[in-house]
Chain A
Amino acid sequence: MTLKTFAGGLHPPDSKHYTEEKAIERCPLPDELIIPAAQHIGAPAEICVVVGDQVKKGQPIATAKGFVSVPIHASTSGEVIAVEPRPHPMGRPLPAVVIKPDGEDQWDESLQGNDPGQLDAAELKNLICNAGIVGMGGATFPAHVKLSPPEGKNIDTLILNGVECEPFLTADHRMMLEESERIIDGVKILRKILGLETAIIGIEVNKPNAIEKLTAECAPHNIQVQALKVQYPQGAEKQLIDACTGRQVPSGGLPMDCGVVVQNVGTCAAISDAIRLGHPLVERVATVTGPGIIEPKNLLVAIGTPLQHLLDQCVGIDGEPAKIIMGGPMMGQTQLSLDVPAIRGTSGLLVFREEDLPRKNAGPCIRCGRCIGVCPIHLQPTTIAAYARLDRVDDAENYNALDCIECGCCTYICPATLPLVQSIRHIKGGIMAKRRNS
């Protein structure tokens, strides 16, 4: 039987062996938690606490600003010791609330659990928004926005993303093995909101134990587990929709334009907690790994824990860190230091030493066309990158540069090691600026 997948993409060595057998461990609290106000796509939340405030775990410390925004909550109980710009995964200091934990880790008493059966879709969405639930795969798009399609958009399919196609990362894999009940409960809540009877969980076949476990547990709940061929970037929404349903999201469109909502399995578990327990999103599972890490682990991390603390839990690194990546190696963000905190989108922390990194200077394009072959959007990365170098914004726009999902396949495959994704991202900025001005 041929397995379902999408056209394009590639399969880098997945390097998941470091952590795929390791059960999720709770990471102890650090001396101070740095909780930034900007942790999601959309408007950053507005900080609503001041220095000296005593906060409880789950208490809002920043309120949502606008529809595409969510509140931020304290990840533990303690005292607010600073509200100031601190190093942020984006690469520059941004406003953050610094909390000194009191060691009690006490939940806010006002948080109440609910029975999802008693609530209607609007109430559920409201609870999800107030709990600060965002896409946990790494893109951190507010979940309630995806669940609120505008009039006229008919949603007929719910897809759960258990693909975890990024190399090294195993956080979602472990969640599916250890937290399948919460995930299935979250799926049922999502189905109720969307008014659907079924759902599909897409999982790549390099996680056979997760497929087996979820197939058995999902059967009574009318949730179908779809085994998928191992292919990066299958975890990207548009590629996952193509792989599972054969539908194509139109250029410039969203999944809801072809009747689909996609949510990550980790998001489902968080939604279950938000409704049943009333617990907001204050912790997540992150994979801390890399060839030089002495004890790679899957850690349950309080939001705001500095990366150095995560590394310390893994007994550090055998050598000097040379490259720190938050997220996966293909789409993750390189960090300037280990002082930045883990945020809601931190699916992993990868630390590489100098000897683990390839070092080859970029050469001229040899026009081999490999980037075109692997592009999951079927763009011409080398042509767009050439236009980017020449600042020819209109030409890049005509070559659909804005449809690039920045998955990194072209840069990965390029034998001349050209910075293709960066070039395309640069000209995308130029195209957006042009559209704003006209």
Chain B
Amino acid sequence: MMERRNDLMRSDLRENEEAYFLDIDLPGCAKDKIQAYVENEYLTVEADFRKEETAKTIRRERYAGRCQRRFYVGEIRTQDIQAAYKDGVLTLTIPKKAYERAEEERRITIE
């Protein structure tokens, strides 16, 4: 059962000369519970916030399930993207060179 929410995985997109940066809020998520991959020109980021209940919870506001978000990135490869998780934010870096390479590979050489 999926539902849309606009308060999870809030993301900023920024760029400088060399790359695009995607900052996604994923507070308190274990690194091994975050997955990111490129498939069919979309970058998909999945996060699993499920945790074992260790103490009695008297109020829950934080999201405690799985979530996923997709971004259209074009013809780049999973290995072109670098990812780092710090202070609860996942930052994905896509070097602009990845697009130049994709552009070149698209060309047909004329003998």
A binds B: no
Name B's A-contacting residues (CB within 8 A). Answer: none
Name A's B-contacting residues (CB within 8 A). Answer: none
